[in-house]
Amino acid sequence: MTISKGDRIPDVTLVKATPEGPQKVQSSEYFAGKKVALFSVPGAFTPTCSAKHLPGYVEKAADLKAKGVDEIACTAVNDAFVLGAWNQSAGSEDVTMLADGNGEFAEAVGLTMDGSGFGLGKRGQRFSMIVNDGVVEEINVEQPGDFKVSSAEHMLGQL
């Protein structure tokens, strides 16, 4: 079942990419007490993710924070080292990378995709959420191959 507006974020272990190295975090603790603009990409360094998705959140970070977002986070079914390298090359300190290396978060929110036709295996779908104190206020799931409703621009219109 796919997570919906009003649902609580499931409690799974994610790995935060930090300058000091990977740090395990529980999603229930990470999302508690703050408003988070969360976006999910099928994979770091992939074309749409690198050309549009991450850059949009980097560019609009100040605007999102001005509208009450405490933190901007990106998740992908990649390891923390890959997400950390991607953030160093194309991201910013304004975006927290949350690695979902085993796909447990994507599975728990019901938003997985099968990318095996492209050699990617099981991944998380492209989506975005506004999560307030662990509860989903908005959710935007892209149709396969699309990049519209999960963008930073679309999210700004929802805040």
User: Which residues are known to be catalytic?
Assistant: 49
- CA gap 140, 154 in Å, rounded: 9
- Distance between CA atoms of 122 and 9, rounded to whole angstroms? 20
Laid out side by side, the sheet with 135-141 consists of: 23-26, 13-16, 95-99, 71-76, 35-40, 127-132, 135-141
- In angstroms, rounded to a whole number, what is the distance separating the alpha carbons of residues 13 and 29? 10
